[in-house]
C-alpha cells in the first residue's frame, strides 16, 4: 500500500458539501488529511462529513457564508481550535452561471453577488488562512476557477469576470507569499458532471429552444475527448496540487476541461 500523501495535514474546503467540492473533500480525506468543509447549506455539509467519517476519515462541518468576512474569521478560528493548524485551503465555493443576460440587460444583483462569493470570498478565506500559514513557513492554497476564466462566455459576464479574477488573484498571491513557503495554484474545470452543471444545461437548452440531450451533445462534441469530466477527476488534480508531488509549482492554472477550451474557446453560443 502506498503511503498517504496528506497524512497529518489539515485542509479547509469551501463549498465542500456537494459536487466538485465534496469530491475534493473525500479525496483529501482519503489521502490522510483532516478536512473542514464549509458552506452555507448545513444539512449537505453534515452529510458530506458523515460520508467522510464512514470511510475512516476526519471531518468537521462548519456552516459559513464566505462572502461574510466575520463568518470566515469564525470558521478559520474554529479550525485552529479543533485541529491546531491549517495546511491546505481549497477555495471551491462559488455562485454558478445563471445570469443569462447581456450586460445592458442583466440584473445588477447578479454581478454583485457573483463577485462577492466567487472572488471576494476567496480573498477573505485566503487572507485568514495565511495568518496561520505564513508564521509556519508552509501552506498550500488551491483556488477553483473555470474555463470561463480563460475565455469570454456570452450572457454570463458576472461569472466570467469573477473567474478571470480568480486566476489573476492566484498569480498575484503566489508572488506575494512564495517567500514564506506558501504555494498558490488554481484549477479551471470545464464541463463537469455535477447537479449544478446539469441545471445549467437545462436552462441553456431551454433558452436555445433545444432539448437537454441536444445541448449535452453540443457540449461533448466541442470537447477533444468527446465527454465531460467527473468530479473525481478534478479532485485528483487537487490532491496533486496539495501534495509534495507538485512542490515546485506555484501560480499555475491547471485547466481540466477534456480539451473543451482547445476546440471551442468561446464556449457554447
Residues 123 and 214 occupy one common structural domain: no
Set of cell numbers at residue 23: 469530491
For position 3, what pLDDT does the model report?
77
In terms of pLDDT, which residue wins out, 135 or 199? 135
Q: From its phi and psi, is residue 26 left (phi > 0), alpha (psi between -120 and 50) or beta?
A: alpha
Residues 39 and 163 occupy one common structural domain: yes
Residues 89 and 208 occupy one common structural domain: no
Helices and strands in the chain: count of H runs, count of E runs? 10, 7
Number of domains in the chain: 2
Residues 117 and 163 occupy one common structural domain: yes
> Taking CA 202 as the corner, what is the angle to CA 201 and CA 208, rounded to the nearest 5 degrees?
85
Residues 78 and 134 occupy one common structural domain: yes
- Where helices occur in 10-142 by DSSP H, the ranges are 19-30, 42-54, 69-83, 108-115, 121-136
For position 100, what pLDDT does the model report?
74
Query: Are 182 and 252 within 8 A, CB to CB?
Result: no
Query: pLDDT tens-digit profile of 83-105?
Result: 999 999 999 999 876 667 889 99
For position 115, what pLDDT does the model report?
95
268 falls within a domain = no
Residue 178 pLDDT grade (very low, low, confident, very high; cuts 50, 70, 90): very high
For position 269, what pLDDT does the model report?
43
Query: Are 82 and 36 within 8 A, CB to CB?
Result: yes
- Which residue segment(s) compose the domain that 83 sits in? 10-192+230-255
For position 97, what pLDDT does the model report?
66
Residue range 46-55: mean pLDDT, rounded: 95
For position 85, what pLDDT does the model report?
98
Active site residue 159: yes
Query: Are 58 and 49 within 8 A, CB to CB?
Result: no
166 falls within a domain = yes
Residues 248 and 201 occupy one common structural domain: no
Query: Are 147 and 265 within 8 A, CB to CB?
Result: no
Residue with cell 443569462: 100
Residue 264 pLDDT grade (very low, low, confident, very high; cuts 50, 70, 90): low
Set of cell numbers at residue 39: 458552506
Is the pLDDT assigned to residue 73 strictly greater than 80?
yes
Query: pLDDT tens-digit profile of 196-245?
Result: 889 888 988 998 899 999 999 988 988 899 999 999 999 999 999 999 99
Q: Which of 83, 124, 132, 159 is catalytic?
A: 159
Task: List for the chain the helix, strand, coil content (%; round to 5).
Answer: 50, 15, 35
Cα distance between residue 205 and residue 4, in whole Å: 43
Query: pLDDT tens-digit profile of 139-174?
Result: 999 999 999 899 888 888 999 999 999 999 999 999
In terms of pLDDT, which residue wins out, 177 or 150? 177
Question: In this prediction, what percent of the chain has a pLDDT beyond 90?
Answer: 79
Amino acid at each position: 500500500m502506498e503511503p498517504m500523501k496528506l497524512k497529518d495535514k489539515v485542509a479547509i474546503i469551501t463549498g465542500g458539501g456537494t459536487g466538485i467540492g465534496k469530491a475534493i473533500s473525500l479525496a483529501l480525506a482519503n489521502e490522510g488529511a483532516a478536512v473542514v468543509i464549509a458552506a452555507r447549506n448545513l444539512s449537505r455539509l453534515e452529510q458530506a462529513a458523515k460520508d467522510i467519517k464512514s470511510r475512516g476519515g476526519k471531518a468537521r462541518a462548519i456552516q459559513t457564508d464566505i462572502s461574510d468576512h466575520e463568518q470566515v474569521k469564525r470558521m478559520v478560528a474554529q479550525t485552529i481550535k479543533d485541529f491546531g493548524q491549517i495546511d491546505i485551503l481549497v477555495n471551491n465555493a462559488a455562485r454558478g452561471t445563471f445570469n443569462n443576460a447581456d450586460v445592458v440587460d442583466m440584473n445588477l444583483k447578479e454581478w454583485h453577488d457573483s463577485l462577492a462569493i466567487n472572488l471576494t470570498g476567496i480573498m477573505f478565506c485566503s487572507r485568514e488562512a495565511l495568518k496561520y500559514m505564513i508564521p509556519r513557513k508552509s501552506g498550500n492554497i488551491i483556488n477553483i476557477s473555470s474555463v470561463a476564466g480563460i475565455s469570454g462566455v456570452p450572457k454570463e459576464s458576472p461569472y466570467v469576470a469573477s473567474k478571470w479574477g480568480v486566476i489573476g488573484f492566484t498569480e498575484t498571491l503566489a508572488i506575494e507569499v512564495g517567500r514564506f513557503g506558501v504555494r498558490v495554484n488554481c484549477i479551471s474545470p470545464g464541463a463537469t458532471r455535477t447537479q449544478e452543471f446539469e441545471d445549467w444545461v437545462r436552462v441553456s437548452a431551454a433558452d436555445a429552444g433545444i432539448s437537454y440531450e441536444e445541448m449535452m451533445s453540443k457540449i461533448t462534441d466541442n470537447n477533444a475527448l468527446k465527454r465531460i469530466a467527473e468530479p473525481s477527476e478534478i479532485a485528483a488534480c487537487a490532491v496533486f496540487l496539495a501534495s509534495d508531488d507538485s512542490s515546485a509549482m506555484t501560480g499555475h492554472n491547471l485547466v481540466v476541461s477534456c480539451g473543451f477550451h482547445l476546440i471551442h474557446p468561446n464556449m457554447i453560443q
